[in-house]
């Protein structure tokens, strides 16, 4: 039985800290909001997720890898539209100084209060036909409250009718302002406006500006892709839900360059391929879905877009975006840099700007989804066990080696096994405490196999292997352990 989902985030955060998956950043100083540190087990899980992504995406002939720098020429962010558009509307409460992202504010207000605020807004404009006209379209939409709140112009009057969720006062909000989410810093010793650079808010732009470098050096022809894993930074107004929305995070992005006429085919291909990746690594199928973006809500660069969403305990949330970005990015960089980024097609003898299908996943958000998905609480012989049922390839520790008792020649055999396995796998040696407790500790760390050396091992050189999920044990020869594990760790 899976754990009760309502308090699962608290349990996960506590387990993550206790077992060394994730710590709050700068914890001894009270923490830094929106930043987290990965501990000994967490760093293994995160590396395994990135490794699996890298293999799935780049161990094929039509995708090349790249590692671009985090700091880029500031013009990049003008060309990409980030300076202009990478903003969230935000309001402050003048009374208690709390700051809210407008869409988050909307989520914090219950339906009854929303209806009341809309009614009051209606009453306040009823005598002015120009205002009625101005608001009429918004009132017709499915969610008039959010539509009006998210429009800087229309929201002024509605904000007047809302109580601040923090201090409860009415009419205390400022008008909505645009807040750019990019972190700014300076390059070189002089802190003036000519020296401004940004911490990249996405890894994609490093790929676009290197499109021709990669294409010509790797002698690739369309269609082909460029993949990159790296840190990204966003000065999110509200961080929340553990690793879901943080200010520093990692992305795993792949940009696939294609002929414009092939865009539908490749968009569908990558949609299917990316969902399959999560499923192949054990994520529960019915907790995954596509969420196609309605035309009206498409980002400025996208022709069509879908999110792969996971059903978190707090609701469905995006873990990866797949976008048809058309020729927007390369055309913009041509315009701003003055350099041609056109591709010459040998067959048709045509020169054109390729279209791009983007797959953009969060490594840290995927970490959180894999972590939550793997977490189970089960009753075993009257006792509760918490277990992380990671796919063996994602599990931080692949095998624990446990001598049943710390004497009679068992440690010697166990240490031999440890030495042999350690050459290829992250393993853990544990000779302390009752065997049942040692199994439970490994269950909680997500270790898929425990090798136990017992009395019989002394006689016939066999060991038991206990499988984490079924808790079944089988007996195999010591010299068969490596091939057993190799087999289990195949995809
Ligand atoms: P959201 O709407 O949740 O802010 P987004 O649409 O801005 O996300 P993209 O720009 O498409 O996200 O980024 C691609 C991926 O990067 C997301 O699917 C997510 O996994 C990850 N990501 C984006 N922002 C964050 C963040 N603040 N913290 C952690 N991961 C993030």
Q: What is the DSSP string of 76-137?
A: HHHHTTHHHH-EEEEEEBTTT--EEEHHHHHHHS-HHHHHHHHHHHHHHHTT-HHHHHHHHH
Crossing angle of helices 111-125 and 129-140, in 10° steps, is 150
Whole-number pLDDT of residue 3 = 52
Single out the residue of 52, 64, 51 nearest to residue 256, CA to CA. Answer: 64
**Distance in Å, CA 191 to ligand 1 centroid:** 30
Whole-number pLDDT of residue 491 = 65
- Peptide bond before 293: cis, by omega within 30 degrees of 0? no
- Residue nearest ligand 1's atom 21 by CA: 362
- Higher-confidence position of 73 and 124: 73
Statement: residue 2 has pLDDT above 60? no
Whole-number pLDDT of residue 185 = 96
Question: Which residues make Cβ contacts (< 8 Å) with residue 413, sequence separation at least 6?
Answer: 403, 453, 457, 458, 461, 463, 478
Whole-number pLDDT of residue 5 = 62
**Cα 306 versus chain centre, distance:** 15
Taking residues 14-22, what's their average pLDDT?
97
HSE on the CB side for 467, CA within 13 Å? 13
Whole-number pLDDT of residue 142 = 83
Instruction: Decide: 321 in ligand 1 pocket, CB within 6 A.
Output: yes
Taking residues 11-31, what's their average pLDDT?
96
- Residue nearest ligand 1's atom 11 by CA: 321
Q: Flag the least confident range among 2-16, 216-230, 307-321.
A: 2-16
Question: Which residues make Cβ contacts (< 8 Å) with residue 107, sequence separation at least 6?
Answer: none
Q: What is the DSSP string of 166-221?
A: TT--BS-BPPPEEEE-PPEEESSS--SGGGEEEB-S-SHHHHHTTHHHHHHHTT--
- Higher-confidence position of 134 and 334: 334
Q: 3: how many CB neighbours lie within 10 A of its CB? A: 18
Q: Please give the span between the terminal C-alpha atoms of the chain, in angstroms, as a whole number.
A: 26
Taking residues 262-284, what's their average pLDDT?
98
- Residue nearest ligand 1's atom 2 by CA: 318
Taking residues 337-350, what's their average pLDDT?
94
- Residue nearest ligand 1's atom 14 by CA: 360
Reported pTM? 0.90
- Alpha carbon distances (Å) from 257 to 170, 202, 213, 260, 339: 51, 18, 14, 9, 18
Map 305-354 to HEC letters.
Answer: EEEEEEEECCEEEEEEEEEEEECHHHHHHHHHHCCCCCEEECCCCEEECC
**Distance in Å, CA 40 to ligand 1 centroid:** 25
- Residues 271, 360: contact at Cβ < 8 Å? no
391-423 tens-digit pLDDT = 999 999 999 999 999 888 999 999 999 999 999
298-327 tens-digit pLDDT = 877 788 999 999 999 999 999 999 999 999
Of all residues in the chain, the percent with pLDDT exceeding 70 is 99
Instruction: Decide: 245 in ligand 1 pocket, CB within 6 A.
Output: yes
Residue given tokens 């022709």 in the structure block: 303
Taking residues 239-254, what's their average pLDDT?
94
Taking residues 462-486, what's their average pLDDT?
96
From the CA of 251, give the closest atom in ligand 1: 16
- Residues 393, 52: contact at Cβ < 8 Å? yes
From the CA of 249, give the closest atom in ligand 1: 29
Task: Classify 466 as helix, strand or coil.
Answer: strand
Token pair recorded at residue 56: 């799935």
Single out the residue of 208, 190, 186, 189 nearest to residue 82, CA to CA. Answer: 208
Question: Which residues make Cβ contacts (< 8 Å) with residue 257, sequence separation at least 6?
Answer: 211, 215, 222, 223, 224, 225, 226, 343, 354, 355, 356
**Distance in Å, CA 321 to ligand 1 centroid:** 8
Q: List beta partners, residue 250.
A: 231
160-207 tens-digit pLDDT = 889 998 999 998 999 888 889 999 999 999 898 889 999 999 999 999
Residue given tokens 């972590």 in the structure block: 371
From the CA of 362, give the closest atom in ligand 1: 20
Instruction: Decide: 308 in ligand 1 pocket, CB within 6 A.
Output: no
Mean pLDDT over each residue of the chain, to the nearest integer: 93
Whole-number pLDDT of residue 1 = 42
Q: 178: how many CB neighbours lie within 10 A of its CB? A: 12
Statement: residue 212 has pLDDT above 90? yes
């Amino acid at each position: 039985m899976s754990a009760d989902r309502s308090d699962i985030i608290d349990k996960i955060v506590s387990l993550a800290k206790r077992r060394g998956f994730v710590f709050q950043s700068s914890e001894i100083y009270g923490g830094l909001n929106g930043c987290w540190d990965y501990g000994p087990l967490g760093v293994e899980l995160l590396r395994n997720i990135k490794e699996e992504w890298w293999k799935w995406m780049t161990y094929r002939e039509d995708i090349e890898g790249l590692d671009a720098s985090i700091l880029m020429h500031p013009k990049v962010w003008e060309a990409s539209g980030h300076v202009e558009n990478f903003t969230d509307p935000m309001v402050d409460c003048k009374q208690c100084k709390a700051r809210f992202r407008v869409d988050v504010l909307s989520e914090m207000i219950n339906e009854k209060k929303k209806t009341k605020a809309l009614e009051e807004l209606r009453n306040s404009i009823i005598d002015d036909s120009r205002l009625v006209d101005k608001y009429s379209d918004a009132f017709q939409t499915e969610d008039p409250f959010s539509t009006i709140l998210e429009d800087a112009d229309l929201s002024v009057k509605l904000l007047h009718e809302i109580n601040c969720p923090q201090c409860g006062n009415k009419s205390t909000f400022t008008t909505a302002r645009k807040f750019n989410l990019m972190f700014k810093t300076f390059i070189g010793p002089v802190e003036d406006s000519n020296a401004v650079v940004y911490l990249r808010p996405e890894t994609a732009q490093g790929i676009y500006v290197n499109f021709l470098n990669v294409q010509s050096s790797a002698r690739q022809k369309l269609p082909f892709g460029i993949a990159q894993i790296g840190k990204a930074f966003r000065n999110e107004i509200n961080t929340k839900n553990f690793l879901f929305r943080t200010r520093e995070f990692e992305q795993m992005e792949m940009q696939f360059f294609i002929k414009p006429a092939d865009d539908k085919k490749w968009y569908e291909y990558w949609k299917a391929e990316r969902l399959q990746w999560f499923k192949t690594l054990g994520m529960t199928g019915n907790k995954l879905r596509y969420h196609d973006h309605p035309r009206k809500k498409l980002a400025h660069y996208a022709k069509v877009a879908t999110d792969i969403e996971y059903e978190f305990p707090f609701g469905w949330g995006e873990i990866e975006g797949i976008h048809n970005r058309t020729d927007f990015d390369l055309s913009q960089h041509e315009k701003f840099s003055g350099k041609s980024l056109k591709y010459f097609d040998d067959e048709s003898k045509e020169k054109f700007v390729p279209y791009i299908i983007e797959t953009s996943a969060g490594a840290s958000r995927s970490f959180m989804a894999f972590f939550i998905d793997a977490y189970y609480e089960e009753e075993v012989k009257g006792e509760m066990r918490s277990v992380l049922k990671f796919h063996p390839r994602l599990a931080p520790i692949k095998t624990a080696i446990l001598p049943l008792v710390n004497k009679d020649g068992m440690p010697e055999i166990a240490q031999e096994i440890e030495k042999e396995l350690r050459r290829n796998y992250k393993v853990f040696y544990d000779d302390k405490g009752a065997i049942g407790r040692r199994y439970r500790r490994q269950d909680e760390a997500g270790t898929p196999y425990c090798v136990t050396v017992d009395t019989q091992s002394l006689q016939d050189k066999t060991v038991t292997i206990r499988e984490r999920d079924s808790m079944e044990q089988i007996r195999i020869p010591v010299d068969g352990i490596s091939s057993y594990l190799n087999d289990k760790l195949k995809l």
